[in-house]
Amino acid sequence: MSTGPGPAPCARPDAAPHPLRFGYGTNGLTDLRLDDALGLLADLGYDGVGLTLDHMHLDPLAPDLADRTRQVARRLDALGLDVTVETGARYVLDPRRKHGPSLLDPDPEGRARRVDLLVRAVRVAADLGAHALHCFSGTTPPGTDEDTAWKRLAEALTPVVEAATEAGVPLAVEPEPGHLLATLADFHRLRETLGDPGVLGLTLDIGHCQCLEPLPPADCVRAAAPWLRHVQIEDMRRGVHEHLPFGDGEIDFPPVLDALAATGYQALTVVELPRHSHAGPHFAGRSLPFLHRAARATPEGPEGRTP
């Protein structure tokens, strides 16, 4: 069961501050100007932000990207916010196709546009001092066999890996339900195909673990620990890819957060609620206290349940 928005879990009376650092994704604050969104998160006490490059938030395709990035960097510094750069904007490249064109697009020019976006994002991440750059594979196009799709993915990501290596920015690939690269096992397939480049790491979405991984989310965290570069978090139900506010799904969060802290992970754990952007300030305000309570909770019993 989830730790719902009711009585707080049992807390350790003499517990030290939890080592995890929490952020909130701007894809859940799309009705706010970026400057206002950053100010809101700082006021609420977040440690950082998952910044999705989109037309309303540091548009990666508009003129003067370097100058605008410097302005955002100054704002982040003034507010004391760390940042991870995310590239999951739905229509930033194509106003008619969600996440299109992808790294798997049948059209080489389409794939090149996605690669160009990711290389631009590497530069933005470097200029912002971001912990990592997030990306994903995309869905397999109709009529494309699996071997061809994997070949396209490896070839398309190669220049992105090279740019990230040169810039010193960890590249954090996200397994996404319904995509070619959907699971932790798929991430390892990509890693091995590319020759295990040092810059290549993992975005682990805790809800996705609940949705489709064979292991429980806390075990997924432990299994993924050596490659963790970015973490996204929300509630979710088994077999249903729907990002839910905390307490509305099935995840038991204290064991997950304990496992994450035990790995020594020091980058941001970012709340991912893109479909709740219409009430973004409300959910941002509600999410951080929940995470702080869950992070302080004492696991009870063999399954780490809390009252």
Residue 190 in contact with residue 216, Cβ under 8 Å? no
More confident residue, 298 or 132: 132
Nearest to 171 by CA among 181, 182, 150, 157: 157
The per-residue pLDDT for 125 is 98
Residue by residue, DSSP assigns the chain as: ----SSSPPPB-TTPPPPS-EEEEEGGG-TTS-HHHHHHHHHHHT-SEEEEE-BTTBS-TTSS-HHHHHHHHHHHHHHHT-EEEEE---SSSS-SSSTT-S-TT-SSHHHHHHHHHHHHHHHHHHHHHT-S-EEE---PPPTT--HHHHHHHHHHHHHHHHHHHHHHT--EEE---TTSSS-SHHHHHHHHHHTT--TTEEEEEEHHHHHHH-SS-HHHHHHHHGGGEEEEEE-EEETTEEEEE-TTSSS--HHHHHHHHHHTT--SEEEE--GGGGGGHHHHHHHHHHHHHHHHHBPPBTTTTB--
Residue 50 has pLDDT above 80, yes or no: yes
The per-residue pLDDT for 297 is 85
Bridge partners of 300? 305
Structure tokens at 80: 């004391």
Structure tokens at 21: 């650092």
Average pLDDT over residues 281-288: 98
The answer to which of 17-21, 65-69, 201-205, 303-307 has the lowest mean pLDDT is: 303-307
The per-residue pLDDT for 9 is 38
Nearest to 131 by CA among 273, 284, 274, 269: 269
Residue-wise pLDDT for 168-223, tens only, equals 999 999 999 999 999 999 999 999 999 999 999 999 999 999 999 999 999 999 99
21-296 maps to CATH 3.30.565.10: no
Residue 87 in contact with residue 135, Cβ under 8 Å? yes
Residue-wise pLDDT for 21-39, tens only, equals 999 999 999 999 999 999 9
The answer to which of 6-10, 35-39, 227-231, 270-274 has the lowest mean pLDDT is: 6-10
Residue-wise pLDDT for 77-100, tens only, equals 999 999 999 999 999 999 999 999
Quickly state the pLDDT bin for 298 (edges 50, 70, 90): low
Q: What angle do CA 105, 185, 103 make, to 5 degrees?
A: 15
Residue 218 in contact with residue 256, Cβ under 8 Å? yes
The per-residue pLDDT for 40 is 98
